[in-house]
Amino acid sequence: MFKNYAMTAIRNLLRYKQYTLINIFGLAVGLAACLLILLYVHFELSYDQWIPENERVMKFETRMYDKGGNFVYNSDRIPPVTAPIFAEQFPEIELYSRFLNESVALALDGKAFEQRLTVADPDVFELMGITLLSGDPATALAAPDAIVLPESDAKRLFGDSPALGQVVKVDGTFPVKVTGVMPDWPAASDLNVGALVPFSSPVVDYQPWVRTSWGSFWGPTYIRLAPGTDLEAFANDVNEFARRVGPADRYQERLDEGVRASYEFHFTKAIDAHLKGEGGDDRSSMVHLWAAGVVAFLILGIAAVNVANLGTMLALKRVREVAIRKALGANARQLVIQLLTEAVALTFVSMIIGVALAELMLPTFGQLMDRDLTSGLIYTPFMLSGLLGGTLVVGCICGLYPALVAARFRPVEYLTGMKPTIGVWFRNSLVVLQFAATIGLLVTCLVVFMQARYARSLDKGFQSEQLVGISGISKPMVLEREKALRESLSRLPGVEEVAASHDMPDENHYTNSSGIRTDTGVEKSLRRVAVSAELLPMMKAQLLAGRLFSVDRAADSEVEKDALASATVVLNEKAVNELGFDRPEDAVGQEIYSPGDVRSTIIGVIANLRTRSARSEPMGTYYWVGPSEFRYVVLKVAPQNMPETLAAIDEAWRGFFPELPIKRQFADDAFAKYYDTDRRQGWLLLFSGGVMVVIAVMGLYALAALSTERRSKEIGIRKVLGARSLNIVQLLLWQFSLPVLVANIIAWPIAWWGLGRWLEGFVDRISLTPLPFLAAGLGVLFIAWITIIGHTLKVARSNPIKALRYE
Amino acid sequence: MLKLHNLSKVYRTDEVETAALNSVNIEIESGEFVAIMGPSGCGKSTLLNIVGMLDTPSSGDYVFMGENVARYSEAKLSNIRKQNIGFIFQSFNLIDELSVEENIELALLYHNIPASERRARVERVMDKVGIAHRAKHMPSQLSGGQQQRVAVARAVVGDQAMILADEPTGNLDSAHGQEVMEMLQALNEEGTTIVMVTHSPAHADYARRTINLFDGHVVTENLRAAV
Ligand SMILES: Nc1ncnc2c1ncn2[C@@H]1O[C@H](COP(=O)(O)OP(=O)(O)O)[C@@H](O)[C@H]1O
Ligand SMILES: [Mg+2]
């Protein structure tokens, strides 16, 4: 019996080859896209899940309060100096490790390699469940000159010879000894970990204050809590303890004045960092993943709609056969089983092709999404059974509707000349929904790309073209010779201007801040940005009042010992507002007091400089001439002979620091990187939108073919009665445009609402206009027309007697 | 009204060539009622389609109202056709999705006639063929005879000078067949030229002249003695 069904099923699928192909291919593409997106979603969800006992592993975080006791922001880290203090005091902290990233150069046999380092604590191995490939975890991070290399770095440096015990020189200054080799850090981790070095390592000397200051933040701190620790109560204990041992200016003095302490520590789950953490260019969010998941199933859904629609049309095509079969005694159940078998067989073939397609596209897709995706997940028993079950379910859904249509249809009606019209309404609604989803997604695509373009073109408050930032200037041995370096660079042909700064567009953000007081008694925490006197004029910062620093006025740049402000400062517009001045002019000439009661005169106010992404609000900032806090040398290069100029810059750097690879990037490139996540989102959308268009259009094509075929008699009659080909083309185009037009009406409001919400996440954003909506709607209509125009013309031109003759 | 001179039609399919009409010479006067008879496959429908300008001859001439239309383009033919010629088919060929009056109106839709006048004309012909009480019905709700009456109404609603009917009674019982024949006769008496293919000698008797076809040739032409 089953064999009979299967044979008939296959015969039928072969008989309507064109439609079978469209069905199989459409469903396969839909499934492949769905699988790829699910692999991506799964990968995002798997972040840090590999950490052992992860329900007890926490990230130590800090809420910051300014001098007025107002909440400023939440930092997802704590001052590194506090970690061992807390760990020693509280038995609840079973294990802890700080993760402080630094980039250095490793020199070996006269060759220099760039190497990412992570300062970590000895507990890191047990805390993160890392088994060393060689070396002893108990002692690997004991000595200050220890380094534990990831496997691939060890290979890069030493090839196949054992790395353990080898000595390499860091930044050309101090040697370290390889004490262990560990597997490469998992890709699915919020932490970006390089080679491990202990907190006692000389690398930390680059920022010595980190060892002592409660005001310095670097990387995150992870801890494992004892089982059963109450998070809130424990956080209270920690804060209570901090009030007692923390520095007076952050705790006791403020408490005495009745102002909140500077810090309030709390915990978040380590596994939540990737999806619930704030900011971070590489992070994702649950909303994003939900959206991706919904899109995945939408794609599968519209592919399934095609199968169901075509199935019904084909069932109607076979109506004569069905009528005769029924007249001969076939019952409804047999028919249903027949059609279901066909649909399941078709879905099964699609599933196999879909999985193959997903495998084929995975590398490209992974690259697009910037993720190391593997297909292993597909072949787990769970997924395989899911796929098989899904095949059955989708197959049944696809087949059920045609089956019911065919089963409900009564042969007498056909034999008395009535044409079944059942399901027309339902079919049309499905087509409308299909196009609504497609249009909605395309609109989203357009708006996301428009916003990304807008964000890139935002007025940054300065001229970013031709600006090159060289980072790594804060390393002590570089900082020492920074002045000489700048002088040497300024003599290179093609280098127009040279300056130094604490802040440049970069993926790594450094934020220093100082509590500032004015004569009027306002107290505010402002961002502190050290610049050389040349920087602001060179960036063409827009002056609102007063003047900029001048190299010729030595008094501008005078800095008292250990002061965090020079004799004169420049404020940005935001800072002027925060300090309570009405107009920029009012601020000029006023004095401000930075920590240690250092007095500085405001000489100028500039428009806010935007060196970060459009998602973050510019901060109230004061600029000072402070060589101790330079992180970048900034160059303005001539647009001509750029490659030669860059090569000369590299050469000059090598002359100064032969064992340090230069790290430089154009400011504009750094800006582009801010929108990587958006770009990724955009690509995902474009990918999904493209797949949807292809599937929907294939469905429309087949539907148009079948339905014009069904209407051929009517078209013949119309032509006999005098309709021209043009009239017929109009008639058919209208028939197929209508669902697309209705789809617009459904898609537009939903997309408008959703995109409005999404745009609210940007401080600077485009306003929604009807343009992308019209573009997507018309685009889809246009594509739909192209798809069916060939068919329509053929039908419109054909001789009507053919259609009437074979009636 | 029309004149066919040495007219031939050859169908070419992949392998076979079928000569459906072979040097046919026929002349039909305005106001005539002509019946075409002959065995199945002898080329009756082909002849009617060419006369009705739904198809073009392979060779020979077709002069319609003084114009040789044999080599006219489809668009031109379509224009002449919709002004002058109405069709009635064996299988009625009504559009299932449209009501009776909409089906009839269809014949005026491509004529640039304002909607109000269209409606008036449709009502007039519906009265004439006695189908007015079924105006809102769908074709599937009508009997064969009623459907064919709708088809007749549709064929004449545009005031066509000539009606071509391909076995109009083929799908009808004798009572309904006779009804349709009487309707055609009445139209002929009002001056409409009628060319009708039929297998029934009784129905052929309504015509003034019978043309017998065999294998694409005109075999005989009988003129019925005036009654
Ligand atoms: N479109 C066509 N293609 C090929 N052969 C055709 C076509 N139309 C008609 N014929 C052939 O031409 C001949 C005449 O057909 P037709 O005019 O329909 O005959 P009748 O109406 O007298 O039964 C037949 O042999 C038929 O098979
Ligand atoms: Mg015939």
Q: Whose CA is nearest to atom 20 of ligand 1?
A: B41
Which atom of ligand 1 lies closest to the CA of B21? 14
Pick A415 or B58 by higher pLDDT.
B58
Pick A459 or B60 by higher pLDDT.
B60
Question: With bands split at pLDDT 50, 70 and 90, how would you rate the model's confidence at A528?
Answer: very high
Question: With bands split at pLDDT 50, 70 and 90, how would you rate the model's confidence at A328?
Answer: low
Number of Cβ atoms within 10 Å of the Cβ of B117: 11
Q: Which of A113-127, A255-269, A323-337 has the lowest mean pLDDT?
A: A323-337
A interface with B, Cβ–Cβ < 8 A, is 416-419, 421, 713-714, 716-725, 727, 799-801, 804-805, 807
Q: pLDDT value at position A418?
A: 46
Query: Which residue's entry shows tokens 């198809």?
Result: B55
Give the length of chain B: 227
Residue B17 Cα, ligand 1 centroid: separation in angstroms?
11
Q: Name which of B81, B82, B140 is nearest A417 (Cβ-Cβ).
A: B140
Calculate what percentage of chain A has a pLDDT beyond 90.
Answer: 43
Residue of chain B with shortest Cα separation from A719: B78
Mean pLDDT of A380-404: 84
Residue A800 Cα, ligand 1 centroid: separation in angstroms?
15
Identify the bridge partners of residue A568 per DSSP, sorted by sequence position. A601
Q: Which of A245-254, A496-505, A788-797, B16-25 has the lowest mean pLDDT?
A: A788-797
Q: How far apart are CA A61 and CA B108, in angstroms?
A: 81
Residue B18 Cα, ligand 1 centroid: separation in angstroms?
8
Q: pLDDT value at position A321?
A: 64
Give the tens place of pLDDT for each residue, A413-462. 554 444 555 566 777 888 888 889 889 988 988 898 888 888 777 778 88
For residue A321, the distance in angstroms to the closest alpha carbon of chain B comes to 20
The secondary structure of A237-268 as a DSSP string is HHHHHHHHHS-TTTTHHHHHTTPPPSEEEEEE
All residues of chain B having their beta carbon less than 8 Å from the beta carbon of residue A725 are 74-75
Q: Which residues of A193-231 are buried (b: 16+ CB within 10 A; e: fewer)?
A: bbbbbbbbbbbbebbeebeeebbebbbbbbbbbeeebee
Spatial contact of B187 and B155, defined as CB atoms under 8 Å apart: no
CB–CB contact A418 B111 (8 Å):
no
Residue of chain A with shortest Cα separation from B158: A721
Q: Which of A101-115, A280-294, A653-667 has the lowest mean pLDDT?
A: A280-294
Q: Whose CA is nearest to atom 27 of ligand 1?
A: B41
CA distances from A608 to A90, A571, A640, A706 (A): 44, 9, 30, 62
Q: How far apart are CA A242 and CA A713, in angstroms?
A: 87
CB–CB contact A807 B45 (8 Å):
no
CATH code of domain A100-208: 2.40.70
Strands A523-531 and A621-625: parallel
Residue B209 Cα, ligand 2 centroid: separation in angstroms?
19
CB–CB contact A800 B54 (8 Å):
yes
Q: pLDDT value at position A1?
A: 58
Which atom of ligand 1 lies closest to the CA of B9? 12
Residue of chain A with shortest Cα separation from B75: A724
Tokens of A634: 């900034």
Give the tens place of pLDDT for each residue, B110-129. 888 898 999 999 999 999 88
Pick A468 or A506 by higher pLDDT.
A468
The dihedral sign for the CA sequence A112, A118, A119, A120: negative
Q: pLDDT value at position A486?
A: 95
Residue B191 has pLDDT above 80, yes or no: yes
Spatial contact of A51 and A129, defined as CB atoms under 8 Å apart: yes
CB–CB contact B95 A418 (8 Å):
no
Pick B1 or A109 by higher pLDDT.
B1
Which residues does ligand 1 sit against, CB inside 6 Å?
Answer: B 11, 13, 18, 20, 40-46
Q: Which helix (H) or strand (E) holds B63?
A: strand B59-64
Residue A412 has pLDDT above 80, yes or no: no
Give the tens place of pLDDT for each residue, A79-97. 999 999 999 999 999 999 9
Q: pLDDT value at position A648?
A: 94
So where are chain A's domains?
Answer: 2-42+287-455+678-805, 100-208, 473-662
Spatial contact of A635 and A666, defined as CB atoms under 8 Å apart: no
Q: Which helix (H) or strand (E) holds B221?
A: strand B217-223
Tokens of A719: 């032509």
Tokens of A365: 């897709």
Rounded mean pLDDT of chain A?
87
The dihedral sign for the CA sequence A184, A188, A194, A196: negative
Q: pLDDT value at position A752?
A: 94
C-alpha triplet A725, B193, B149: angle, nearest 5°: 70
Q: pLDDT value at position B59?
A: 93
Q: How far apart are CA A766 and CA B1, in angstroms?
A: 72
CB–CB contact B93 A724 (8 Å):
no
Mean pLDDT of A715-736: 86
Q: How far apart are CA A7 and CA B44, in angstroms?
A: 44
Mean pLDDT of A190-199: 94
Q: Which of A645-659, A756-770, B204-218 has the lowest mean pLDDT?
A: A756-770
CA distances from A347 to A7, A14, A30, A307, A342 (A): 16, 15, 11, 9, 9
Q: How far apart are CA A591 and CA A569, in angstroms?
A: 9
Mean pLDDT of A130-136: 95
Pick A338 or A156 by higher pLDDT.
A156
Tokens of A319: 């109506």
Spatial contact of A250 and A263, defined as CB atoms under 8 Å apart: yes
Q: A609 — phi, psi (to 5°)?
A: -90, 130
Spatial contact of A216 and A207, defined as CB atoms under 8 Å apart: yes
Identify the bridge partners of residue A526 per DSSP, sorted by sequence position. A514
All residues of chain A having their beta carbon less than 8 Å from the beta carbon of residue B118 are none
Q: How far apart are CA A118 and CA A271, in angstroms?
A: 19
Q: pLDDT value at position A417?
A: 46
All residues of chain A having their beta carbon less than 8 Å from the beta carbon of residue B172 are none
Q: Which among A667, A609, A662, A661 has a CA at the least distance from the CA of A634?
A: A667
Q: Whose CA is nearest to atom 3 of ligand 1?
A: B11
CA distances from B18 to A106, B14, B50 (A): 90, 11, 16
Mean pLDDT of A757-773: 87
B interface with A, Cβ–Cβ < 8 A, is 45, 49, 52, 54-55, 74-75, 78-79, 81-82, 87, 89, 91, 93-97, 106-107, 109-111, 139-140, 154
Query: Which residue's entry shows tokens 């919020």?
Result: A190
The dihedral sign for the CA sequence A244, A248, A250, A253: positive
Q: Name which of B55, B106, B139 is nearest A718 (Cβ-Cβ).
A: B106
Which atom of ligand 1 lies closest to the CA of B216? 14
Which atom of ligand 1 lies closest to the CA of B213? 22
* Most confident of the ranges A627-641, A754-768, B165-179: A627-641
Give the tens place of pLDDT for each residue, A4-48. 667 777 777 777 787 888 888 888 999 998 999 889 999 999 999
Question: CATH number, domain at B24?
Answer: 3.40.50.300
Pick A242 or A289 by higher pLDDT.
A242
Question: With bands split at pLDDT 50, 70 and 90, how would you rate the model's confidence at A527?
Answer: very high
CB–CB contact A807 B154 (8 Å):
no
Question: With bands split at pLDDT 50, 70 and 90, how would you rate the model's confidence at A318?
Answer: low
CB hemisphere CA count around B28 (13 angstroms): 30
CB–CB contact A807 B91 (8 Å):
yes
Q: What is the CA radius of gyration of chain A?
A: 34
All residues of chain A having their beta carbon less than 8 Å from the beta carbon of residue B75 are 724-725
Strand order in the sheet with B217-223: B85-88, B162-166, B193-197, B33-37, B209-214, B217-223
Mean pLDDT of A632-645: 93
Which atom of ligand 1 lies closest to the CA of A801? 1
- For the entire predicted model, the pTM comes to 0.74
Q: Which among B187, B133, B135, B146 has a CA at the least distance from the CA of B165?
A: B187
CB–CB contact B54 A727 (8 Å):
no
Tokens of B27: 């002349």
Calculate what percentage of chain A has a pLDDT beyond 70.
Answer: 94
Domain count, chain B: 1
All residues of chain A having their beta carbon less than 8 Å from the beta carbon of residue B102 are none
Spatial contact of A796 and A725, defined as CB atoms under 8 Å apart: yes
Q: pLDDT value at position B140?
A: 83
Q: pLDDT value at position A279?
A: 62
C-alpha triplet A469, A471, A473: angle, nearest 5°: 120
CB–CB contact A800 B96 (8 Å):
no
Q: Which among A93, A91, A148 has a CA at the least distance from the CA of A120?
A: A148
Strand order in the sheet with B17-28: B17-28, B2-12, B59-64, B67-68
Q: How far apart are CA A177 and CA A144, in angstroms?
A: 9
Residue of chain A with shortest Cα separation from B81: A722
Q: A714 — phi, psi (to 5°)?
A: -60, -45
Q: What is the 3-state secondary structure (H, E, C) of A39-103?
A: HHHHHHHCCCCCCCCCCCEEEEEEEEECCCCCEEEEECCCCCCHHHHHHHHCCCEEEEEECEEEE
Q: pLDDT value at position B227?
A: 43
For residue A721, the distance in angstroms to the closest alpha carbon of chain B comes to 5
Mean pLDDT of A272-287: 76
Helices and strands, number each (H, E), in chain B: 7, 10
Q: How far apart are CA A378 and CA A38, in angstroms?
A: 10
Pocket-testing residue among B22, B42, B167, ligand 1, by greatest number of atoms within 8 A of Cβ:
B42
Residue A807 has pLDDT above 50, yes or no: no
Q: pLDDT value at position A324?
A: 63
CB hemisphere CA count around B100 (13 angstroms): 25
Q: Which of A124-133, A527-536, A553-562, A582-591 has the lowest mean pLDDT?
A: A553-562
Q: pLDDT value at position A762?
A: 81
Q: Whose CA is nearest to atom 7 of ligand 1?
A: B11
Q: What is the 3-state secondary structure (H, E, C) of A429-470?
A: HHHHHHHHHHHHHHHHHHHHHHHHHHHHHCCCCCCCCCEEEE
CB pairs under 8 A between A and B: 60
Residue B146 has pLDDT above 70, yes or no: yes
Calculate what percentage of chain B has a pLDDT beyond 70.
Answer: 98
Spatial contact of A496 and A537, defined as CB atoms under 8 Å apart: no
Spatial contact of A703 and A23, defined as CB atoms under 8 Å apart: no
